[in-house]
Amino acid sequence: MTAFVFNEPNFDAHEQVVFVSEPKSGLKAILAVHNTNLGPAMGGCRMWNYASEGEAITDVLRLSRGMTYKNAVAGLPIGGGKSVIIGNSKTDKTPALFEALGEALERLGGRYVTAEDVGTNTDDMAHVARRTRHVAGLGETGDPSPFTALGCFVGAQAAVRHHLKRDSFDGLIVALQGLGNVGYDYARRLREAGARLVVADIDPARLERARAELGAEIVPVDSIYDVQADIYAPCALGATLNPTTLDRLKVKIVAGGANNQLATADIGEALRRKGILYAPDFVINAGGIIKVCYEHLKKPESEVEAHVRRIGETLAEVFARADSEGLPTSVVADRVAEARFKRA
């Protein structure tokens, strides 16, 4: 298994990859610490019914690396890490499962701090906290998704201002994929700002809510790439920007909350050549980790929103530099991050 990890294409000099098995609770998890140059690694815990262990390894390696870049660009004093639990989040959750995860975190001695992610929530993190203090996103105010959605919104504003030369969303069409906590709140903000929504999700109840409350048009999941729109907002799982979908996109901007949106690095250049402005995922969706970091470091809650709103300024700088240097925005964002955490 070790040789498999080292040879995995997404292994990127990760400092530590830990496989956790706890038969009594049924826990099967992978914890990945990518880089701690700026501080302890921080990133959420995802629970997903992976088709194979190899798929789970690929996901945790990509996600943990992305957290290093996200945290560095956001100006946070933390490194990047992530954890994944192999299992069905709707049927396999138990308090014992997350307590076992807490014990595994405790054995790392603070090198990695977790929080909620896809398939987990603040209640799950409360069970983790019974066994370790290396967890954030707790209590009624622990949900980071509203701040992720806010970051996506101000990031989309920056993209519209830069690429479409306008300050308003009035009349713009947004094709939004994924109506989870982040996606729905982001959609709500866009609708309140005057955008028209075309949405797709695997959950019929979420779709009906979007139709009733936001006046959204509904399309099948796979049809979202064919929508004629101004903005494509991927807010589900990653790698939805790939050679197949790229040929189908009829948009001017990509600005969404999903992680690892580019299936491969060269998609960034392909988007640039098509004249599509890409808001790099780890820049635009950093609002949640900003909130979690402030909580964990016991920094004033009142300062979180101002920090999240600076995401728009960061993206404006990335867009301008990409134009002046003739580079994909994804490459520029990578270089900004690397200058911070590699120098450290």
Known catalytic residues are 82
| Rg value, the chain, Cα | 19
Contact 174, 233 (CB under 8 A): yes
Residue type, 191: R
Whole-angstrom distance, CA of residue 253 vs CA of residue 175:
10
C-alpha distance from residue 211 to each of 32, 199, 200, 231 (Å): 39, 9, 11, 19
Which residues are registered as beta bridge partners of 33? 16, 81
Collapsing DSSP to helix, strand or coil, 42 comes out as: strand
Contact 35, 107 (CB under 8 A): no
Which residues are registered as beta bridge partners of 218? 199
Whole-angstrom distance, CA of residue 253 vs CA of residue 227:
13
